[in-house]
Amino acid sequence: MKRVFLAATGTVAGMLVLLISVFMALASYYWLGWPDWLRLALAVTTIPAVAVLWFLPGNGRWVRRIVALASIAVFFVAYSQKQVLPRQFVPLHERIVDANFSGDVVEIVNFRDAIHPVGAPAQPRWTTHTFNLGELTGAQLVYQPFGTSAATVHVMMTFAFHNGDHLAVSFEARRTNWEKFDALAGFFRHDQLYPVVGTERDLLWKRLAHVPPNDLYFFDIQGTTAEIRAYLRGLLEFVAELHDRPQFYSTVSESCFTTLIKLSPQVQAAVPWYDMRRWVPGASVGLLQELGVIENDVGEEELIERQKLGPAVKPPWEFPDANAWSRHVRSRIGRPETASANR
């Protein structure tokens, strides 16, 4: 019995070491700052090298295994110390937003208000905008599918103020190229976590100016104004922290939805780590309904269909200001009638 137990333990340990070596190989490949030849060499040789050290029989087997474990330990110590490196980013991600507080008044530096012509490159515009959190009137979750699976969904937040202003927030992977994005890299501390804070006519129209336009869904956040205000303050404080201390984007733990969850102490405490819905943006509506964060008196599918932005949303440049366009957008929510594509 003891021999069977030891054999099973050895098999499990061997499988674990192989899985770790696969992670090490991929992490090496995505390790910015290392020469390309070194990244590729490590990616190719790590798995067979660890396998030889661990599985090769004969004299010195335990010494080789100690070397393998020591190599793994050194790798992960270095991996934990990785820093975000400066790179050449796309114009829309060129500047980093910052937030400066004075009581309830917050000054947003590099507040984005880009122009997005349909099917053409964006024209970035950066401003400084001041908001009074005491004049906050509400918030909405914006849900944007960009694929066919629950994982291919982007979620954003937008906050409304008494004077008609809106502050939209999106957490993204900071891009160096719009044409090429490697989702696998998000598992290996490769891309920078990038907060975008700007107007709705920038963040929302960017999705509608896509060819074909992306679908958007709007869900009112339930809660007192004080609760929503505290959430927004925490969110903007995190934005300021990212300005001073950049962090890595993570497909698992620091993506668009997981970051928003972490900024809500109530949601963070209510959703255990093993609940897979907290890691999958496409599950956000059902999860937040269950928590009472968004409307839950109808089923998830019915709510999603009801809160869909209808077609024929006019472009922002047909309106005198950003606030007028935001009002137009809300007049189109739940309007499924057939119309021409967004232009």
Q: Identify whether 212 is preceded by a cis peptide bond (ω within 30 of 0).
A: yes
Within this chain, do residues 120 and 66 fall inside the same structural domain, yes or no? no
DSSP character for 136?
A: E
Residue 15 carries which DSSP code? H
pLDDT value for 125: 97
Whole-angstrom distance, CA of residue 314 vs CA of residue 123: 18
Residue 116 sits in the same domain as residue 20: no
Residues 47 and 128 in one domain: no
Residue 337 within any structural domain of the chain: no
pLDDT of residue 149: 78
Last residue of a domain, one of 16, 45, 80: 80
Say if 195 falls within a structural domain.
Answer: yes
85 inside domain: no
Q: Is residue 222 part of a domain?
A: yes
Mean of per-residue pLDDT scores for the chain: 91
**In a shared domain, residues 21 and 133:** no
Q: Looking at 61, 80, 99, which one is the last position of a domain?
A: 80
Which of 109, 120, 90, 145 is CA-nearest to residue 315? 120
Q: Are residues 97 and 231 in the same domain?
A: yes
The mean pLDDT of 317-332, rounded to a whole number, is: 96
Q: Is the pLDDT of residue 260 over 90?
A: no
Are 173 and 112 part of one and the same domain? yes
Q: Average pLDDT, stretch 76-92?
A: 94
Shared-domain flag, residues 52 and 101: no
Burial class, 225, CB count within 10 angstroms (exposed 0-12 / middle 13-18 / buried 19+): middle
Write the secondary structure of the chain as one string of H (helix), E (strand) and C (coil). CHHHHHHHHHHHHHHHHHHHHHHHHHHHHCCCCCCHHHHHHHHHHHHHHHHHHHHCCCCCHHHHHHHHHHHHHHHHHHHHCCCCCCCCCCHHHCCCCEEEEECCEEEEEEEECCECCCCCCCECCEEEEEEEHHHEEEEEEEEEECCCCCCCEEEEEEEEECCCCEEEEEEEECCCCCCCCCHHHHHCCCCEEEEEEECHHHHHHHHHCCCCCCCCEEEECCCCHHHHHHHHHHHHHHHHHHHHCCCECECCCECHHHHHHHCCHHHHHHCCCCCHHHHCHHHHHHHHHHCCCCCCCCCHHHHHHHCEECCCCCCHHHCCCHHHHHHHHHHCECCCCCCCCCC
- The pLDDT of residue 297 is above 80: yes
Among candidate residues 80, 101, 120, the one where a domain is terminated: 80
Is the per-residue pLDDT at 343 higher than 60? no
Per-residue confidence (pLDDT) for residue 58, from 0 to 100: 85
Q: Say which range, 55-59, 75-79, 131-135, 153-157, has the weakest mean pLDDT.
A: 55-59
Residue of 140, 143, 149, 146 whose CA lies nearest to 300: 143
Indicate whether 134 belongs to any domain: yes
Q: How many CB atoms lie within 10 A of CB 305?
A: 13
Closest CA to 328 of 236, 176, 204: 204
Q: Answer with the residue of higher pLDDT: 10 or 20.
A: 20
Is residue 177 domain-shared with residue 253, that is, in the same domain?
A: yes
Same domain, 73 and 215: no
Encode burial over 177-213: b for 16+ CB neighbours within 10 A, e otherwise.
eeeeeeeebbebbbbbbbbbbbbbbbbbbbbbbeeeb
Whether residues 240 and 143 share a domain: the answer is yes
Local confidence band at 175 (pLDDT 50, 70, 90 cut-offs): very high
Ranges of H-type helices in 172-247 = 200-208, 225-244
Give the range of the structural domain holding residue 198, as residue numbers without chain letter: 91-331
- Least confident residue range of 67-76, 147-156, 164-173, 327-336: 147-156
**Number of domains within the chain:** 2
185 in the same domain as 314: yes
Is residue 185, in this structure, part of any structural domain at all?
Answer: yes
- Lookup: tokens for 226: 């004080």
Residue 339: pLDDT band with limits 50, 70, 90: very low
Is residue 182 in a domain? yes
Residues 129 and 238 in one domain: yes
Classify residue 86: in a domain, yes or no.
no
